[in-house]
Amino acid sequence: MPPRNNRRQGTRRQRGDISQQHGVPFPVFNEEEVAIFKSLEPRHVTPPKWFDLSQHEQDARLNRRFGSVITGYIDSLSAGVLARNKSPGFREIMLEFITTFKEGVTGNLTYRLKGTEYELKENEVARLFGIDGHGRVGEHDEDYDLGNFWNYLTGGNPGSFDRLKASRIHDDEVYVAYKFLAHVILNKYEASIISKPELYALWCMMNGKTVRLIPLISASLIYIIKSRTKKSLAYLAFGGLITMIARFHDIDLDDDNAEYPSEEFKVTGRKVGNEWMTIPQNREEELPDSGNDDDDEVEDEDAFDEGAGPRRRVENEPAYMEVDERELEEDDEDDADYEEEEEEAYEEPSGWRAAEARLNQRFDAWTRENRVYQ
């Protein structure tokens, strides 16, 4: 199980709560938090694109390559909590976390859960995922070279260095490690394009180096808040991040009224007790129209930049960790490129990629059935 936060319990703010007058189900203390909540609240919650690690022979090799970074995390993650994606209690915790998170000037992650303010340091976040997070990375590791590392991952077939496509990674274990980082830790719905900070984090994971997760997590959450594509306005694809952090603070995520996935979707899930991590039960209601037929980003990219909003990076952050938000944007053109290349490169997928392909087919069928982003 992940470590508990026995050192500090968080603090509650009593004054300045404006949640009732704005119809927010948890305490908020400024108009910016209200605006962020209003942008998130209409979105439907979906599980991440992830699959059972225990069903594949690559498990042993993956464990040797990455150790507790991957397999230890998955073993400690309660998939049953993820299965409760329609639980009102979990949805509220998820919305409160994303609405209130900030990356502090010291590089720590601050947020509120159930009205209580918490703070996590870099090494505590790393411990949640079994990653080495002790110490600070003051500058780029002198042993890291993006071109050499990407050539190694792609077997000498790097493609464009402006668009690092995950499908070019020829090693299945490394491919799975990146998908884990993108989908589970960073809560990305699509992970066809690897950002340069993500690639550096992957190199650190493979070489036993200290991994800075907070800047990556912050950039991913800010993208979720600011994105205005039809896909992003229709759903919130959550991973294990919020679940793990809530459990770190001993916050109860159980809900007696939780609705579980239907029998037909239990095939792709991992069973923990009587619970499953899988695609959710079909929903009959239509998702709200984004009002943006061409699926473009809004022109005002600074909609949430004013005031005391989330910081994209801390002051004096090393340049290699600076996240270009355009690198996180994956529009319909990206998806089409990814699908075309996957079809060309892996006509007869096997192992991990076959499992991912089957899961993606089921997930895409579910989104079409429920009109998630049509």
Residue 319 lies in a domain: yes
Amino acid at 174: V
The pLDDT, as a whole number, for residue 287 is 31
Q: Is the pTM of this model over 0.75?
A: no
- Domain of residue 54: give its range: 11-369
The pLDDT, as a whole number, for residue 263 is 32
Q: What gap in Å lies between CA 205 and CA 72, rounded to an integer?
A: 14
pLDDT tens by residue, 32-83: 999 999 999 888 776 666 555 554 555 556 656 665 445 545 544 433 334 4
The pLDDT, as a whole number, for residue 253 is 66
pLDDT at 22 over 90: yes
Q: What gap in Å lies between CA 156 and CA 150, rounded to an integer?
A: 8
Which range is least confidently modeled, 169-173, 215-219, 323-327?
323-327
The pLDDT, as a whole number, for residue 360 is 66
pLDDT tens by residue, 346-368: 344 456 566 666 666 665 665 55
pLDDT at 280 over 50: no
Residue 2 lies in a domain: no
Residue 1 lies in a domain: no
**Sorting pLDDT into bands at 50, 70 and 90, what band is 24?**
very high
Amino acid at 78: S
Strands (E), the chain: 11-12, 44-46, 102-103, 109-113, 116-120, 164-165, 193-194, 235-237, 270-272, 275-277
The pLDDT, as a whole number, for residue 127 is 72
Which one is predicted more confidently, 244 or 43? 43
Which whole number is the average pLDDT over 312-329? 40
The answer to whether the CB of 345 falls within 8 A of the CB of 357 is no
The answer to whether the CB of 3 falls within 8 A of the CB of 248 is yes
Residue 374 lies in a domain: no
Which residues, listed in sequence order, are joined to residue 193 by a DSSP beta bridge?
165
Total tally of structural domains belonging to the chain: 1
pLDDT tens by residue, 89-111: 677 888 999 999 998 777 788 99
Averaged pLDDT of the chain: 64
**Sorting pLDDT into bands at 50, 70 and 90, what band is 270?**
very low
pLDDT at 8 over 80: no
Residue 4 lies in a domain: no
Q: What's the DSSP call for residue 270?
A: E
Which whole number is the average pLDDT over 196-221? 83
Which one is predicted more confidently, 4 or 204? 204
Q: What is the percent of the chain where pLDDT is above 70?
A: 48
| Six token digits for residue 360 | 């993606």
Which one is predicted more confidently, 133 or 187? 187
Residue 39 lies in a domain: yes
Residue 359 lies in a domain: yes
The pLDDT, as a whole number, for residue 325 is 45
Backbone angles phi, psi at 275, to 5 degrees: -120, 160
pLDDT at 170 over 70: yes
The pLDDT, as a whole number, for residue 140 is 63
Residue 337 lies in a domain: yes
**Sorting pLDDT into bands at 50, 70 and 90, what band is 163?**
confident
The pLDDT, as a whole number, for residue 79 is 39
The pLDDT, as a whole number, for residue 150 is 93
